Amino acid sequence: MATVAAEALSHGEFRRNLGWTDGLAMGLSIPVGGFALIGYSIGILGAWTAMLLWGVTCLIAILQNFIFAELAAMFPDKPGGIALYAHEGWRRYFSPVGALAAVGYWAGWSFGLAVYGLIIGQLLAAQFFPHSTWTFFDGTQHIGLAVILGALAVVAVWALNVFGVHPAVRSNKIIGVVVCITVGILIVGPFLTGHWHHRLTWGLGLPHQAWGGWKLAIVYMYVMCWTSYGTEIAATFSPEYRDQKRDSTRALVSGGVLTLAFLVLGPLSATADIGTKAIAANPVGFFPSVFSSIIGPAAGLVTIILCGALFLNMTAATADAGRALYGISRDGMIVKQLFKLNRHGMPGRAMTIDLVVNVCLVVFVANTLGVLFASNLGYMIAVVFALSGFLLLRKDRPEWPRPIRRGPGWIAAAWLLIAFNLVLIIVGALNPGIAGYGGTTDQLIGLAILLASIVMFLFRRLVQDRVPLQLREPTPTVPDDVGLVAAPLAAELREL
């Protein structure tokens, strides 16, 4: 019996074979992918304003990452990232919060696969197959080459991740280095070639804008946070780091700093080179123009590199989302079948769920950007619950070992970060039309995702586990307490 139980526990654990540079490699998708999105903010806000708002959200992300590093070190066996920390902090008070945060977190990462896959398909089709006009109707929309390429990108990312973390990490390192070099050229090139001109403008404060432009700024920060905050992905891989204390902090902070540099300097150099109007006219495809002014015409090369940046985003998203589903199943919040690693040590079933959902989004849903906006609501709520979970864990588990322990000032910092994020959620989620990035339908989708998390939580507890519903669960005060092992895992071992 003991041998079987040990094997079961081993089967449910990730292998510790990653270093902090591997976590950074998975997080490289954030700065390079975010760089591909800066054109939208420059066109609407102006370069100076875009720089300011990207800088604020990136600085907030770095502060949050210091807090998440403490939580990651507290729970060395907890896969699934910040949503699982929210569950640990809140389950003593209201256990469904864990499901709410975890499913919202999963949707925030997972649904981006469809969006980026479709953008890759559109870029490749427009650049290399401009005369391809064939389509067929699938019952909801007309499918062309761009959609097919987008679906293939989703499948390729799934295959890269499901067969082990190292292929994904290695590919991310290679693609990431190439993309970072290219982005570096785009950032410093205008200064070195003498193409830098003072074309930067402020876009806020115009009389016709609500709250003197601040409302627009808040809505855009709400949208930007999906990218800026994404460096917390390094915490998701915490159970796989060889030196968890050192590697967690290094990966989280280095990713945040790199993202800050890219997303602040990007608007400065690009706008100075070709101007706001050119970027606003082509917010995604303006990169070839900047690149051409530095080293000459290279539209095809820049398109491939931009697709590589988006592919990095997809790789990180499927790795993070798959681990999130695995982690919340492990802790008894969704169906138990997802609590299983394949022979490569990967949450293959959870990643396959991501594959199916996102291929369906690419093929059957036309407004994938709207779905991304909807998923951002759940993601931001997960961040708030994780930060408040930090405060609750400090209060309820003062004796719990903390290999990384932040000073008393971080308590006040957590309160301020929670307040900041709540303002973004309230203003941003209620005013999506201001940014042209969503509508009422997308708001309803976001709410439906959150409601679905409660349904799945109830199904797991009442139908699969057949245990009485407990809205408040007893929690251990130190790791040696009886009951530290999650109830679903303990039940599974008893059955063995």
pLDDT over 60 (residue 428): yes
Q: How far apart are CA 4 and CA 472, in angstroms?
A: 31
Q: Look at domain 14-489 and name its CATH class.
A: mainly alpha
Residue 208 burial (C-beta neighbours within 10 Å; 0-12, 13-18, 19+): exposed
pLDDT over 60 (residue 9): no
Q: How much is the pLDDT for 265?
A: 82
Q: How much is the pLDDT for 221?
A: 92
The pair of structure tokens assigned to 472 is 């408040």
What is the pLDDT averaged over residues 72-92?
85
Please enumerate in sequence order all residues whose Cβ is within 8 A of that of 316, keeping only pairs 6 or more positions apart, or say none.
26, 27, 28, 29, 30, 172, 230, 233
Dihedral sign, CA of 421, 85, 341, 401? positive
pLDDT over 50 (residue 490): no
Beta strands in 350-404 (DSSP E): none
At 150-187, the pLDDT tens digits run 899 999 888 877 776 566 666 666 776 777 777 777 77
Q: How much is the pLDDT for 491?
A: 41
Q: Return the amino acid letter for 464.
A: Q
Q: How much is the pLDDT for 413?
A: 97
Q: How much is the pLDDT for 61?
A: 95
pLDDT over 90 (residue 62): yes
What is the pLDDT averaged over residues 71-94?
86
CA angle 415, 418, 422 (to 5 degrees): 140
Say what angle helices 96-110 and 440-458 make with each other, to 10 degrees.
Answer: 130
Chain centre distance of CA 170: 20
What is the pLDDT averaged over residues 342-366?
81
Partner residues linked to 136 by β-bridges: 143
